[in-house]
Chains A and B, each alone.
Chain A
Amino acid sequence: MRRKAGSIVPFERAVIEAGVELHASGTPEFHGYLLARHIKDATSARNLTAYGTLYKALDRLQNAGLLESRWENPEAAASDNRPRRRLYRVTANGHAVLAQQMPAVVPAPRLRLNEEPVS
């Protein structure tokens, strides 16, 4: 997909927003599932984001320099007896892009029948 440089699609924006919110709530680094759950709660979506959509968006955002990531320490994962997490963090650039694109896009008010448009 070709797009204007520096622009992000709504879903990528939701990812960055969720990342920033997680940062504000004291979780500067987050893994994929945590992010999916946060996006679901924040956007009151019915389902968790699909694997195919989520991880490819994370890749794109990382390539664009809005996110950075690292594999967590293998010992930490082994002590919890779970697969190691890929931890993401919103970069300064990511914060800046989000701030630049504020305010959030507000959906246009829907017109009902028999209702005059507000001039």
Chain B
Amino acid sequence: MSAIVLSLAVLITKAWTHVFTLGLAGDFGKARREQVASDLWEQAHDATAGRAVAFSVLSRLVRGMPADIAWRVFVAPRLHRQRLTVNLEEGRAMSVQPGLPFGVGASGIGWAATLAFLITPVSHSLAYAGAGLALIALIGWLLEARDTGDDAKPSAWPPVLAASIAAIALGVPFDGGQLGLALSIPATLAFSSIALRTLASRPQGSIAVSSVSPEVLQRHALAGDAIVLERTADHRVSRRTVLQGSAWLGIGAVLAATGGVIVDFLWQRNVQGFGGIVAAGNISKYPPGSKTKITAGKFWLVHLTPEQGGPGFLALWQKCPHLGCTVPWEPNFSFKDAVTNETKRGWFRCPCHQSTYDDVGVRVFGPAPRSMDRMALTIAPDGEIEVDTGTIEKGAVDNAASAVTMPQT
């Protein structure tokens, strides 16, 4: 058991070391991974190490994480900022631009996302676009360690990251397809401009390549080409900048979270089901004389024949006006109508106290105080039925007068 826990701790530590040395120029990452692997091995095989080795390993990992992150963010980018140029021949040069594939890739993803949002408006697309941007910005920031371009300006990625996190916060309460476009188009333009700027930062007239192998360098050196390796100006991030930045970021995050919660509470949800508009489908689904229970809306959709008081459609609330039992349609129940003295089969009949209603929901028998209640029903020109289950009118003997027919065009 403890062996398994130890292997897990070792695995986690190695994985973290991999992550925070990812994409660093030169052999730095490899060297650090080997050092940590050696350290882990020595501790695991140290007879004097005591029992809780796995705990010690995890503790050493966690306590060192802030140093790793700080180093990666503030130190690594300027350690490896250098520009490699190979002067091929008179007036021509080869410039190594490791950031270029990333910039081009991010632009490609951005344009693809923009296209996707244009074709199919995805719900919460602003949040998705923000999440994608945040990921790209994070990778871009980490990969800047490999950037060899001449860039003395502050990094553009942290603001992109902050903006995309804000977009996620905004995108969750705002449910809309077009909002993603509002983010993805400017972001994609920004990515493209970063890629183009990387490309433009190379010495004039030189060919841009993303990487160059030692073999190629050797071949050029042997052919008499000059190889220039120059460190570019490093931009230091002062402690004051970091503190001010994080203070503003913190204030912004608190405000954004507060605002997001308020907006989220005030935002009207798309009301569906009982209490809102319930779509019942096309009139062609319901033959004349049919009575269909629409469970989502808690009503009976009745298609009346002329003999039943139609033609037209009625939405009768399934709740008995007497004590609220659910009224079923009893097609085989036979009953004599006291008004017409005719006996016929098929009635709405409440199982609780035998209140009985005819095809249009008019009460003919029982303790119910009135006829079955109606819901507002509309039929669109294309025959689609919508019932507003939030608008209920009290039932009356003239229920049939409220029957809705297909609008004449």
Contacts and interface: CB of A to CB of B under 8 A. Distances in A.
A49 B31 contact: no
Q: How large is the interface on A (under 10, 10 to 19, 20 to 34, 35 or more residues)?
A: 20 to 34
Nearest to B71: A56
A26 B136 CA distance: 52
A108 interface: no
Contacts of A53: 63-64, 67
Contacts of B67: 50, 52-53, 56
Interface stretch (A13-21, A32-40, A89-97, A110-118): A32-40
B125 interface: no
Contacts of B66: 52
Contacts, number: 77
Contact of A51 (B41, B45, B61, B239): B61
Interface string A21-44: 000000000011110110000000
A86 B33 CA distance: 11
A7 interface: no
B13 interface: yes
Interface in B76-93: none
Interface in B9-31: 13, 17, 31
A32 B35 contact: yes
Contact of B38 (A52, A56, A84): A84
Given A51-B13, A51-B17, A55-B32, A33 B39 contact: yes
Contact of A33 (B32, B38, B59, B63): B38
Contact of A55 (B13, B35, B49, B61): B35
Interface in B51-78: 56, 59-68, 71
Given A51-B36, A83-B37, A86-B31, A33 B60 contact: no
A33 B64 contact: no
Interface residues of B, number: 30
B39 to A, nearest CB: 4
A37 B47 CA distance: 12
Nearest to B59: A47
Interface string A69-90: 0000000000000111110000
Contact of A47 (B17, B38, B60): B60
Contacts of B42: 31-34, 82, 85
Nearest to B68: A52
B230 interface: no
Contacts of B239: 1
Contact of A84 (B13, B34, B36, B59): B34
Given A33-B46, A36-B39, A51 B34 contact: no
A82 B64 contact: no
B193 interface: no
Contacts of A54: 64
Given A37-B46, A47-B56, A51-B17, A32 B64 contact: no
A87 to B, nearest CB: 10
Interface centre among B17, B31, B39, B63 (most CB of A within 10 A): B39
A48 interface: yes
B63 A50 contact: yes
Contacts of A37: 46, 48-49
B43 interface: yes
A20 B383 CA distance: 91
A52 B46 contact: no
B64 A83 contact: no
Contacts of A48: 43, 56, 59-60
B39 A51 contact: yes
A84 B36 CA distance: 11
Closest 5 CB pairs of A and B: A52-B64, A50-B64, A33-B42, A52-B67, A50-B63
Given A50-B59, A50-B62, A51-B68, 11 more contacts: A32-B35, A33-B42, A37-B48, A51-B64, A52-B61, A52-B66, A54-B64, A55-B36, A82-B41, A82-B42, A83-B38
Interface of A: 1, 31-34, 36-37, 47-56, 82-86
